[in-house]
Amino acid sequence: MRTKPTYQTWIRVNKLLIFLGISLLFLMITFFPISIYLRILSGMLALPFLYIVFILSYSIFQFAGFGGNYQSKIHDVIVSRMDVESGKILDIGTGSGSLIIKIAKRFPHSSLIGIDYWGENWEYSKAQCEENAEIEGVSDRIQFLKASASKLPFRDAEFDVVVSCLTFHEVKDSRNKTDVIREAFRVLKPGGTFVFMDLFLDEAMFGERTELVADLTDTVELKQEKLTDVLNLPKLLLNKKVLGNAMVFHGKKTK
Ligand SMILES: C[S@@+](CC[C@H](N)C(=O)[O-])C[C@H]1O[C@@H](n2cnc3c(N)ncnc32)[C@H](O)[C@@H]1O
């Protein structure tokens, strides 16, 4: 068994390798004994892919523990907005378990569940979460379940706190992301609290923000914070394709 937990970043290494492969292919073509125009064209086609490789590699470095550690810092922002001493906590889209394990350590009287669909296009797994929790000494209080955020396998009002980080926009089995957020509210007790970090400013994903908030606030009191207002992020992470659209929604269920 491992002795150190492994928490990958939010950037998929496979994705990085695909873009790197395409860039290298275009660059190799520039050395082929073919028309100079085709070689120039190939070199130009390599440029956008190289730019993506740069952005992805830089993001991995900034998110990872060996670099800027921003993934953990963002999780700290979520934990700092949690209002709980004990009770039952749910993390939707738990990934490698990094957020929920952090929460378990911060709130030693809580019991916790992390759900994820752990699809093949991601590099996390349930076994990895369980092993991480074991290594971190919190496995007796955390359960990991395979489920989709769009249809949570829980009764109404089962949790005191629900958290989620960068997951709602990824849910593919529900076209309407507001429905996925509502599903999270369904399993929260009246009086219970929630903290969600996601790309809520991305209108293609979530629609216009005032409409989104109006849609949600019939059953919750909701505070909104731009991530950039609560955490100093390196400039390149503010790219709209990375965290430029990130916001924290937090508050309380009223009924
Ligand atoms: C960017 S990662 C964030 C992981 C984790 N919340 C964190 O902060 O480290 C997005 C996560 O959403 C999960 N996910 C995507 N679609 C999902 C779905 N339909 N139901 C549950 N989880 C899903 C992925 O498996 C992945 O773990």
What is the residue-level pLDDT of the chain in tens, covering all 255 positions?
A: 778 999 999 999 999 999 999 999 999 999 999 999 999 999 999 999 999 999 999 999 999 999 999 999 999 999 999 988 789 999 999 999 999 999 999 999 999 999 999 998 899 999 999 999 999 999 999 999 999 999 999 999 999 999 999 999 999 999 899 999 999 999 999 999 999 999 999 999 999 988 999 889 889 999 999 999 999 999 999 988 899 999 999 999 998
Instruction: Judge whether 19 lies within some domain.
Output: yes
User: 115 and 183 in one domain?
Assistant: yes
Question: Does 116 lie in the same domain as 52?
Answer: no
d(C-alpha 126, C-alpha 117), whole Å:
9
* Same domain flag for 107 and 230: yes
Give the number of domains in the chain.
Answer: 2
Distance (Å, whole) CA 12 – CA 121: 8
pTM of the model: 0.93
Q: Is residue 107 in some structural domain?
A: yes
Enter the tokens of residue 10: 């939010």
> Which pLDDT score is estimated for 121?
86
* Predicted local confidence at residue 201, as pLDDT: 96
Residue 79, in any domain of the structure: yes
> What is the distance between the alpha carbons of residues 179 and 169, in angstroms, rounded to a whole number?
11
Determine, yes or no, domain membership for 4: no
Whole-number pLDDT of residue 43: 95
The total of other beta-carbon atoms located within 10 Å of residue 10's CB is: 19
In this structure, the answer to whether residues 57 and 74 fall within a common structural domain is: no
Looking at residue 189, which CATH number applies to its domain? 3.40.50.150
The secondary structure of the chain in percent helix, strand, coil, rounded to multiples of 5, reads 40, 20, 35
As a whole number of angstroms, the distance between CA 152 and CA 104 comes to 21
- Check whether residue 75 and residue 133 sit in a common domain: yes
Residue 120: the pLDDT is 87
Token pair, residue 176, equals 């309407």
Question: What residues pair up with 145 in beta bridges, in sequence order?
Answer: 115
- In a shared domain, residues 40 and 145: no
- Please check whether residue 3 lies inside any domain of the structure: no
Which residue out of 167, 176, 181 has the highest number of ligand 1 atoms within 8 Å of its CB and is therefore the one to mutate? 167
Domain of 39, in residue numbers = 13-63
Classify residue 69 as left (phi > 0), alpha (psi -120 to 50) or beta: left
DSSP characters for 195-253?
Answer: EEEE-TT-HHHH--HHHHHHHHTTTEEEEEEEHHHHS---GGGGSTTTTTT-EEEEEEE
Angle at 46 between CA 43 and CA 50, to 5 degrees: 135
108 & 229 share domain: yes
Closest by CA position to 88, among listed 77, 98, 97, 100: 100
Are residue 134 and residue 195 in the same domain, yes or no? yes
- Is residue 6 in some structural domain? no
Do 49 and 74 sit in the same domain of this protein? no
Q: Pick the last residue of a domain from 63, 80, 97.
A: 63
Tell whether 144 and 224 lie within a shared domain.
yes
Residues 140 and 162 in one domain: yes
Please list every protein residue whose CB sits less than 6 Å from any atom of ligand 1: 10, 93-95, 98-99, 116-119, 122, 124, 148-150, 165-167, 170-171, 173
Q: How far is the CA of 144 from the centre of ligand 1 (A)?
A: 13
CA 37, distance to chain mean position in Å, is 43
User: Phi-psi region for residue 249, left (φ > 0), alpha (ψ -120 to 50) or beta?
Assistant: beta
Give a yes or no: residue 31 inside a domain: yes
Is 76 in the same domain as 133? yes
In a domain, 7, yes or no: no
Compute the distance from residue 45 Cα to the ligand 1 centre, in Å: 32
Looking at the CA of residue 122, tell me the nearest atom of ligand 1: 25
